[in-house]
Amino acid sequence: MKLKAAFLFLTAVAAGDDGPVWVKTEGVDLLVIPVTTYAEARQQAVRAVQEEGCAAIELCGGFGCRGTAMIADAVQVPVGVVRFDVHPGLGNVSGDTLFDKQ
């Protein structure tokens, strides 16, 4: 059975027409979703599960503990995360500092 999953990554600039996008392989169909805030990530994760049928969510290393918990609490599928204590692409801070704009 082929896995359908979503990968959410944080970016400072909105994706516009460049996302989300499907990457399809023989074993996995991966929906790649750029997001600019944790709130948007939560909304997109729920949409990926409910509307796209994703059975797993993977989060980029920019998500801190609060952001990861927010996504895990919002969906009923496994949530994994690439882990950096601080992210080198974010100026060596956690995403909790930059993207938790409630």
Dump pLDDT digits (tens) for 22-79: 999 999 999 999 999 999 999 999 999 999 999 999 999 889 889 999 999 999 999 9
68: number of Cβ within 10 Å:
20
Rg (CA), the chain: 13
- Written in H, E and C, the secondary structure of the chain is CCEEEEEEEECCCCCHHHCCEEEECCCEEEEEEEECCHHHHHHHHHHHHHCCCCCEEEECCCCCHHHHHHHHHHCCCCEEECCCCCEHHHCCECHHHHHCCC
Of residues 100 and 50, more confidence is placed in 50
Would you say the pTM of this structure is higher than 0.85? Answer: no
